[in-house]
Amino acid sequence: MKIGAANKKQLIIMGVLLAVLAAIMIYDFAGSGTGSAAPPVSSASAKRGRPGTANPVENDLDPTVHLATLEASRRVKYEPGRNIFEMQAAPMPTPVTTVRQGPPQPPQTFTQTTPPPPPIPLKFYGFANKPGEAKRIFLSEGDPQNSTVFIASQGDIVDRRYRVVQIAATSVEIEDVLYNHKQRIPLTAR
């Protein structure tokens, strides 16, 4: 088997890439053993503002295991309302009440009354009466200078809210269909 010129170039490139990969892996594994972080700073040296000058005497962490405290915490049962983040909850003070009680007050009763429905704002304006046709009435709404006039027969709905129930000789009975309220409007001249 002969190795050609093209195969030699590929073998050289592969060897260089393997060498670079090996160098990167050695650098990565060798660098992970040494810490690049700054040494821990105690609270006392942090207060003085000089990093790296920690006093081992001022270290207040105790690495020993206190077996008695551990065993005491295992015996404690969880009770609702207890704060599990404190060793012992403060006892609840017993409230002392010295309130004088007077005569009992009668219970208050609230009666809910519905407000009366608003009055129907329509007024008599006139009527039309032709032989053989139903009687029609003219009703106005608003002030006399700028009013809206409605023409309706008995049973018609006016202004999408008021129904003409009955047209009598002296009055018109109008029903407010929203409030189910009836009102008589007298047929009088303006």
We report the CATH number of the domain holding residue 135 as 2.30.30
pLDDT at 15: 95
In a domain, 126, yes or no: yes
Burial of 21 per CB tally in 10 Å (0-12, 13-18, 19+)? exposed
pLDDT at 20: 96
**Model confidence, pTM:** 0.40
In a domain, 142, yes or no: yes
pLDDT in tens, 43-85: 544 455 455 555 555 566 778 888 888 888 888 777 777 677 7
In a domain, 3, yes or no: no
pLDDT at 133: 86
In a domain, 155, yes or no: yes
What three-state secondary structure class fits 70? helix
Q: What tokens appear for 175 in the block?
A: 């029903």
pLDDT at 40: 57
Range of the domain at 182: 122-186
pLDDT at 43: 52
In a domain, 160, yes or no: yes
Please give the tally of structural domains in the chain. Answer: 1
In a domain, 24, yes or no: no
Ranges of the chain with pLDDT below 70: 1-5, 32-60, 82, 89-90, 99, 189-190
In a domain, 89, yes or no: no
Gap between the terminal Cα atoms of the chain: 126
Residues sharing a CB contact under 8 Å with residue 162, sequence separation 6 or more, in sequence order: 120, 122, 174, 175, 176, 177
In a domain, 165, yes or no: yes
Burial of 122 per CB tally in 10 Å (0-12, 13-18, 19+)? buried
